[in-house]
Amino acid sequence: MAKTNVVRFLREVRQEAAKVTWPTRKETMISTGMVLVMVVVSALFFFVVDELMAVGVRFLLGVGA
């Protein structure tokens, strides 16, 4: 197994990090907003589905409150 030169490795890491295109603040805020909206939509969807299934189980089995 070849030994890695630590200084060379760190230099290459730095060069590669310089090539990364980082998102702007505006892009980050828009993406964050989209994620939060999708989380809320997903939570509401699963809440509604859960409630409908609970109603169905109560109707079929007469179990629950």
In the structure encoding, which two tokens stand for residue 46, read together? 């699963």
Of the two residues 52 and 1, the one the predictor is more confident about is 52
- Sorted by sequence, the CB contacts under 8 Å of residue 31 that are 6+ apart come out as 23
Ordered by start, the domain boundaries in the chain are 24-65
pLDDT at 4: 72
Long-range contacts of 34-37 (CB under 8 A, 24+ apart): none
Read off φ and ψ for residue 35, nearest 5 degrees: -65, -45
pLDDT (tens digit per residue) in 8-55: 999 999 999 999 999 999 999 999 999 999 999 999 999 999 999 999
Q: What pTM was estimated for this model as a whole?
A: 0.65
pLDDT of residue 62: 85
Q: What is the pLDDT of residue 38?
A: 98
| Separation between Cα atoms, residue 5 and residue 7, nearest integer Å | 6
